[in-house]
Amino acid sequence: MTDLLAVRDVTKRFGGVVANHSVSLAVPHGAIVGLIGPNGSGKTTLFNSIVGYHPIDTGSIAFEGREISRLRVPGIARLGLVRTFQQTRVFNKMTCLQNLLVSVPHVHEGLAAMCAGQPPAVMARASEILRLVGLQEHTEQHAGDLSFGQQKLLEIGMALMNEPRLLLLDEPTAGVNPVMIESLIALLRDINARLGLTLLVIEHNMRVMMQLAGHVYCLAHGEVLAQGSPAQIAANRAVIEAYLGAQP
């Protein structure tokens, strides 16, 4: 079967910096695929290329066999390819519910739902997603008053409002306390298993990766250094050396 996402030989330069060099990776339907690599190895750049944030220099990116590397963010999001950010992006002065309502692809629908007295479909979906991410008791709370981990849950909820088929998560557990990390792992496994959502996850924490991913790619200096099961990657000499070498 065609992979849901196929990245082939993608190179992306910023001036003299080669952020990604001939990167290839595949994300099968229904999988959770991991992406690791030291800081500056090109992980976020690859996400930005996949979701159409910037054009690639060479290579191809196919979603369900369809070339998408010339499309931009809105067109790619409409196909069901959505990302979250390394730096959490929620609207602090809005409630959790409002954050979800303004995250729908057609924002006017969300705004209408916010102003309307009766609950249209988008409102029902927002309530369902608040329950799914475990924030139903915080519906009317300002996002700025949530803990950092809860903001991460909210951000995943905001991405889910777009009804993604492939969700790209950029370091979802970074800076999150251990208890909340367990909640995040449970949520990601749940949306994968129950909603059938395919995930590509950037994550430094190998313990988290072990619990989540079936297959892991490791980037170093913009190139794929290794790929395999989480256990194979954790034991891979070159991967260990890339991480040790990256430490100050």
Q: Residues in the site for Mg ion, rule: CB under 5 A?
A: 44, 86
| For ligand ADP, the closer CB: 17 or 116 | 17
d(CA 32, CA 120): 33
Q: Which does residue 157 touch among Mg ion, ligand ADP, none (CB within 5 to 8 A, set by kind)? A: none
d(CA 127, CA 104): 13
Only one of the segments 37-45, 150-158, 175-183, 234-242 lies at the binding site for ligand ADP (rule: CB under 6 A); that segment is 37-45
| For Mg ion, the closer CB: 23 or 101 | 23
N- to C-terminal Cα distance for the chain? 43
d(CA 219, CA 40): 10
| For Mg ion, the closer CB: 22 or 86 | 86
Q: Is 42 in the site for ligand ADP (CB under 6 A)?
A: yes
Only one of the segments 14-22, 68-76, 186-194, 228-236 lies at the binding site for ligand ADP (rule: CB under 6 A); that segment is 14-22
d(CA 129, CA 96): 11
Q: Is 40 in the site for ligand ADP (CB under 6 A)?
A: yes
Q: Which of 2, 39, 92, 147 binds ligand ADP (CB under 6 A)?
A: 39
Exposure of 234 in the CB half-sphere (CA atoms within 13 A): 15
Q: Is 199 in the site for ligand ADP (CB under 6 A)?
A: no
Residue in 82, 97, 7 with CA at minimum distance from that of residue 51? 82
> Shortest distance, CB of residue 174 to Mg ion, whole angstroms?
9
**C-alpha torsion sign, points 70, 77, 27, 65:** negative
> Shortest distance, CB of residue 42 to Mg ion, whole angstroms?
8
Only one of the segments 21-29, 39-47, 118-126, 137-145 lies at the binding site for ligand ADP (rule: CB under 6 A); that segment is 39-47
Residue in 27, 22, 1 with CA at minimum distance from that of residue 164? 27
| For ligand ADP, the closer CB: 39 or 147 | 39
Q: Which of 27, 34, 41, 227 binds ligand ADP (CB under 6 A)?
A: 41
Q: Is 233 in the site for ligand ADP (CB under 6 A)?
A: no
The footprint of ligand ADP on this chain (CB under 6 A) covers a number of residues equal to 11
d(CA 71, CA 143): 32
Burial class (CB in 10 A: 0-12, 13-18, 19+), 51: buried
Q: Is 22 in the site for ligand ADP (CB under 6 A)?
A: no
Burial class (CB in 10 A: 0-12, 13-18, 19+), 117: exposed
Q: Is 19 in the site for ligand ADP (CB under 6 A)?
A: yes
> Shortest distance, CB of residue 71 to Mg ion, whole angstroms?
22
Q: Is 14 in the site for ligand ADP (CB under 6 A)?
A: yes
Strand order in the sheet with 58-63: 17-27, 5-14, 58-63, 66-67
Residues near ligand ADP, by CB under 6 A: 14, 17, 19, 37, 39-45
